[in-house]
């Protein structure tokens, strides 16, 4: 399951529902930058690293090798779930090959952002600096924690490098470093107890006739290669990364569900071609409660962008689409969909690689009638008003992907399976 816009598509809820029919749920990229909000009855859970499958008793959840594990944040989340009565015994595994994100990565993230020419608007969760260390072949992996001497020297070296970089930028955070270092090492013993070979566990589950859900974070337009670079996250968020980030081959994956919101949102910087004007933006932000689950930042909102949806369908090889938050559009009399972009060179139907051009395109819209009645009670596609079905049909057609799920509210029951 992958996000097909700029993240925040409502993936947490879709995972929560799909998790019911699987044995294992696996995160394969990103870190604590994700914020998956799930409602179970009247209780709200916001999960950053642990897959939302954890809210289903008896499901096992894994963090794959492609994830950068924020060790302190991970145990905060773990302990919070435990304190709220979720049984975690034997239910969480972390890849031995996953990299460990340490507190100084968060400091580096914030300082780098302050210094950057183009501000990405990161979540400040240390994602870029942690992946930089991984790609530079200087990172620390969970398997390194087996040897406490080795772990200490890797943590110290990483902290030392961070400190030098921070000092070169004129900042001083020395005191905080020492205590962070010790708490990282203290928590690493706990992490070792959860270490596993995620690829092997997944293959064993599949060979044993089980089902596995690979859960993407962020979205296609934030993918390091396929997104709106440089305004992207530092990992591959798209479906192929589900294989590399969890330790299996691509041939093991038989279904790819792409999640899109019934409109578009974006948090952080970078172009959003279908952005609303200020008044409509404010209205949709309120209707859809569009504030970041991780940072609380207000999200920019816009109409559904079928150019992006079609591109996402292609780069992910989608086999099905899940449309979320349809009910947020219930009160609008007209609803638009961007079908192509007008550029100085002519009309284009493919999502452009040049992010700077994307900021200047003028979307060409098709406008459909709204339905102006509540959809949150619909439980089958037939319960939806005709204009809502027409809207979904058009999304399906433009994205060239069959519709599989529609969400019309925050509760588990408010999902229509198609
Ligand atoms: P980073 O992943 O914190 O480095 O942030 C890079 C970009 O991705 C920024 O624009 C963030 O706002 C965005 N981003 C990261 N994680 C999420 C997410 O879970 N939802 C939406 N946007 C995200």
* Catalytic status, residue 56: no
Q: Please list the pLDDT of the chain residue by residue as tens digits (418 residues).
A: 999 999 999 998 899 899 999 999 999 999 999 988 888 888 888 899 999 889 998 899 999 999 999 999 999 999 999 999 999 999 999 999 999 999 999 999 999 888 888 899 999 999 999 999 999 999 999 999 999 999 999 999 999 999 888 888 776 666 567 778 888 899 998 999 999 999 999 999 999 999 999 999 999 999 999 999 999 999 999 999 999 999 999 999 999 999 999 999 999 899 999 999 999 999 999 999 999 877 788 999 999 999 999 999 999 999 999 999 999 999 999 999 999 999 999 999 999 999 999 989 999 999 999 999 999 999 999 999 999 999 999 999 999 999 999 999 988 899 999 9
Nearest alpha carbon to residue 121 among 110, 108, 106, 130:
110
128 lines ligand 1 (CB under 6 A): yes
Q: How far apart are the first and last CA of the chain?
A: 16
DSSP output for 10-60: SHHHHHHHHGGG-SEEEE-SB-TT--EEEEETTEEEEESSS-GGGGSTT-E
217 lines ligand 1 (CB under 6 A): yes
Of 8, 144, 180, 223, the active-site residue reads: 8
> What ranges do the domains of the chain cover?
99-194, 260-418
Residue 154 corresponds to which tokens in the numbers above? 């890797």
Alpha carbon distance 165, 255 (integer Å): 44
Distance, CA 5 to ligand 1 centroid (Å)?
A: 12
What CATH number was assigned to the domain covering residues 260-418?
Answer: 3.90.170.10
- Nearest residue (by CA) to ligand 1, atom 15, is 33
Of 16, 36, 99, 144, the active-site residue reads: 36
Q: Does 260-418 match 99-194 at the fold level?
A: no
290 lines ligand 1 (CB under 6 A): no
| Atom of ligand 1 at shortest range from CA of 297 | 12
| Atom of ligand 1 at shortest range from CA of 217 | 19
Distance, CA 385 to ligand 1 centroid (Å)?
A: 35
Distance, CA 268 to ligand 1 centroid (Å)?
A: 7
Give, for ligand 1, the residue of 233, 264, 301, 324 to mutate: max count of ligand atoms closer than 8 Å to Cβ. 233
Distance, CA 233 to ligand 1 centroid (Å)?
A: 6
The answer to whether the CB of 64 falls within 8 A of the CB of 28 is yes
125 lines ligand 1 (CB under 6 A): yes
Give, for ligand 1, the residue of 67, 110, 222 to mutate: max count of ligand atoms closer than 8 Å to Cβ. 222
Nearest alpha carbon to residue 213 among 80, 56, 77, 74:
56
47 lines ligand 1 (CB under 6 A): no
- Nearest residue (by CA) to ligand 1, atom 10, is 268
In this prediction, residue 174 carries a pLDDT of 62
Alpha carbon distance 144, 146 (integer Å): 5
Give, for ligand 1, the residue of 5, 52, 122, 132 to mutate: max count of ligand atoms closer than 8 Å to Cβ. 122
Neighbours of 288 (CB within 10 A): 21
For residue 409, give the DSSP letter: S
Residue 26 corresponds to which tokens in the numbers above? 């696996």
Q: What is the pTM of this model?
A: 0.96
Dmax over CA atoms of the chain, in Å, equals 66
Question: At the top level of CATH, which class does the domain 99-194 belong to?
Answer: mainly alpha
> What three-state secondary structure class fits 112?
helix
| Atom of ligand 1 at shortest range from CA of 125 | 3
* Catalytic status, residue 180: no
Residue 18 corresponds to which tokens in the numbers above? 């799909």
Nearest alpha carbon to residue 13 among 42, 49, 55:
55
């Amino acid at each position: 399951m992958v996000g097909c816009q700029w993240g925040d598509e409502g993936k947490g809820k879709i995972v929560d529902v799909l998790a019911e029919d699987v044995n294992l749920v696996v995160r394969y990229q990103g870190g604590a930058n994700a914020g998956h909000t799930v409602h179970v009855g009247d209780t709200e859970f916001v999960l950053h690293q642990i897959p939302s499958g954890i809210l289903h008793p008896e499901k096992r959840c894994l963090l794959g090798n492609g994830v950068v594990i924020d060790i302190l944040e991970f145990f905060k989340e773990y302990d919070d779930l435990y304190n709220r009565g979720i049984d975690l015994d034997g239910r969480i595994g972390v890849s031995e090959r996953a990299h460990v994100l340490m507190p100084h990565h968060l400091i580096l993230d914030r300082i780098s952002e302050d210094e950057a020419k183009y501000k990405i608007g990161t979540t400040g969760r240390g994602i870029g600096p942690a992946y930089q260390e991984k790609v530079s072949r200087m990172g620390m992996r969970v398997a390194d924690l087996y040897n406490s001497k080795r772990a200490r020297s890797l943590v110290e070296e990483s902290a030392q490098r961070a400190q030098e970089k921070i000092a070169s930028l004129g900042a001083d955070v020395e005191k905080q470093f020492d205590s962070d270092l010790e708490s990282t090492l203290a928590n690493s013993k706990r992490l070792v107890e959860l270490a596993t070979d995620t690829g092997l566990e997944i293959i064993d589950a599949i060979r044993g006739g089980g089902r596995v859900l690979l859960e993407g974070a962020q979205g296609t337009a934030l993918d390091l290669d396929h997104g709106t670079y440089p305004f992207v996250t530092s990992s591959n968020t798209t479906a192929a990364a589900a294989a590399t980030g969890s330790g299996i081959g691509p041939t093991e994956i038989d279904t790819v569900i792409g999640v899109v919101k019934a409109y578009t949102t974006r948090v952080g910087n970078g172009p959003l071609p279908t952005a609303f004007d200020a008044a409509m933006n404010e209205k949709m932000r309120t209707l859809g409660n569009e504030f970041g689950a991780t940072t609380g930042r207000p999200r920019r909102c816009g109409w559904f962008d079928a150019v992006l949806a079609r591109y996402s369908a292609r780069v992910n090889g989608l086999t099905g689409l899940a449309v979320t938050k349809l009910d947020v559009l219930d009160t609008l009399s007209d609803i638009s969909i961007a079908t192509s972009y007008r550029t100085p060179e002519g009309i284009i139907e493919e999502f452009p690689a040049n992010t700077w051009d994307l900021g200047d395109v003028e979307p060409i819209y098709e406008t459909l009638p709204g339905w102006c009645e509540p959809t949150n009670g619909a439980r089958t596609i037939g319960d939806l008003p005709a204009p809502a079905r027409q809207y979904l049909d058009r999304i399906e057609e433009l994205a060239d992907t069959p519709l599989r799920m529609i969400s019309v509210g925050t509760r588990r029951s408010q999902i229509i399976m198609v």
